[in-house]
Structure 1
Amino acid sequence: MSKEQSGPGVIMSGIRRIGHGLKTSLAIVGFATASGLYMEYRKYYPMEEDNNKKKVLVIPFHHLQLIEKEKKSIRSQLSRFDVDTKDCPVQMEIKDLVDVLHHAASDPSIVALYGVFGHGSTLSQAGWADLEEVRNALRVIRESHRWHAEPNLQHKAQVIPGVENKPMYAYADTFASLGDPAYKEYYLALIFTHIHMQKTGELNLFGAMLQQFFLQGLLEQYGIALHINNNVCQDITRSHSKALLTSWLKQGCRDDVDLWKRIHQLGTFPAVTAYKAGLIDFLPWRNQKNTKSKVKPLDGTGNKESAIDDIKNKWALQETDFEQFKADTAVSLQAYAKQVAKKKQNEQDIFDQYGTQHPAIQSILAKIGMSSVDDGEPHPQKETIALLRVNKGIGNLTARKLVNSIC
């Protein structure tokens, strides 16, 4: 006969079996919970998988059309696709482009910027104030590796430890396009760290030009007649304007004033002359339009030392910083803008799903009239403002009709 176990032994054996079962159950529950959390994370952050890849952002300025407000049209719908054709300019709102550039400045996966210029008439349609906003956003990328202590009266730039600078390359087949007489493309390209142009190209420097006076056009739209007394101001003479321009150049630049006088007289610069004058940094001798023989920093993607050495040999450059161009792949402006918009939408979805459920947040939202919980009580409504745009002079009758239409 088998000897029966004593009472305490049976109890300990049962406890051990319960412990093993509980341990297994907790492991299964933990695995299921972790899997669910991971799937939820991948749902809201799908683009984090490529953050380890170093990318160069390619912006087609020669096809880019800056607009204040996007209007639904066939062209705007086609521009949403990741295509780069001359027949279909890429339309983008100015605020969206500025947001994308600011995001690229803080994105560690974007290690360089590459802009394409030349033979583009789309930028000529943008105003100088719009171009200034884009230029300031590009400056944020250029200065993303530095921080400036305020007040910085001595203009000392301090480098952020562990953050590398992001080289910016601008390439153009020419800066003398008939569609851009006011050199707006070159104005944007000046903020880039490197400007490349073909040897067959030219550079126009005729100064900034405006088609009409801003103040005069603004007043005419509201039916206001502008009268100026001609005896108050006297037109500036040619000699006076020349002396004034020379004095400005002498104050702002330390180079030879005679050089700037020659620049002012020439107007149009061949590629070699522009390179010798320091207006262009590099002159690639191959035509970059031919996809089989491209010579540009994008050929160095993937950390290929042979490609970088090949660029140096073909361009005969003594000193370059192509070693800093460590991009693994190139991403277009359209594709990157979609990623940024998707990430922002995911973050907003997370806030709407989890953030608004917190009691403290619900209390704050209730006080400002944005409570997400319908408790049946009336909440204060936010004031609304009606904006009317008047493009021509109107009378009292038309004004009353407009006011009555929105009341």
Structure 2
Amino acid sequence: MSVKIHPIALLFLAQFLYVQVAEAGLLRSSGRGSQSSQVETHYYFVKNQDLVQFSDSSFGISVEAYAANSILGFEFTNTIGGGGRGISAVPTSGPTASNCNGAYNQDQVDTIQDDIDYWASSSDANAPAELANAQNALDFLINGSPCVWEFEQGEDLLAFGAFSMFFDTALIEHQVLWEITGNGLNETLAGSINEGGDIMTPDGIISTGQVMLNTTAPANLLVGDYEITAVANLTSSAGQFFFERTNTGSGSSAEVVTLGFYEEYNPAWDVWRIAYEEWQNNVLYPWQDDPNRTGSEPVFTVPEPAQTISGYRSVNGQDEVRTAETYFRSEPEMLRIVAANNTSNPTSVNAPFSALLLLFGLVGVWLRKRQYS
């Protein structure tokens, strides 16, 4: 008996030494599902020297630059897939992915509902299976659990999320803000983008290009649940953004946008022509008609512009110009503030009492062993 009770007693008593670590961060849940939309948006940044400007003040990609980029690929490009927003207030993919994929929005609900309506009225042989899949997707989307950022009151805030629109170039400025709302609070905090290497955190890896919030907590951030939203805005004086959007989904209403060729008469050519004719009448013809002329024939030094302006710009199916979005806003996630642990050792919960129990236990084991010796 003495041989068996010793390890069993130690195992039983050792569990009292468990130290609970009060560590704030991302609480991962069983996961919120999402309907993957068959929509992709490709963004291109084109430098000023490769642009043309039309009479309606819209910009286009010059024919020469478009031809070169079609062969070599655009120098600065990003893609938002799945009909997403391009930004999230929690990690949603890659090495930082959690088991929850964030909040859903009404657009996602409408997209799945469109699929349900489509398959419900379809005579396709696969309609029943597709309808069941769409109904399950809607249920999974609505009834799933979102991610929660949890911090103690007064604790520094460290949050991060996915961002598809980071352009790794000094030509483009990225402004990042994080909004916290709820319980009468409406706070906007400055964020940033990780432009360096991977950053290791207890909640995962903050990869290059992800949005971050790393700041002291606002003094009025009291205990309770809030919404936290990541916002990013792109600006540049060195060029313009263009985009294309494909949509192969059966029920999605996303507008298809392409880089369409456009050409118009160049009013600058008229200005040049008028100036040239005036020069002919006032300079060239008088010189030619002068029997005593000397020297070489005068030359008009103003270069002749093209008679047309042509280039490629983002247009929909009706050739209406579409401007690339440069403002990106995530769906809100949950921020939970809990009461602060005010003990002198905030990471130890019951270690002193557990040590005392273990001491008494070991003495008891020793005495029992002596009894059976």
TM-score (normalised: structure 1): 0.18
| More RCO (CA 8 Å, sep 6+) | 2
Structure ID, larger Rg: 2
TM-score (norm 2): 0.19
**Greater helix share, structure number:** 1
Structure whose residues are more often strand by fraction: 2
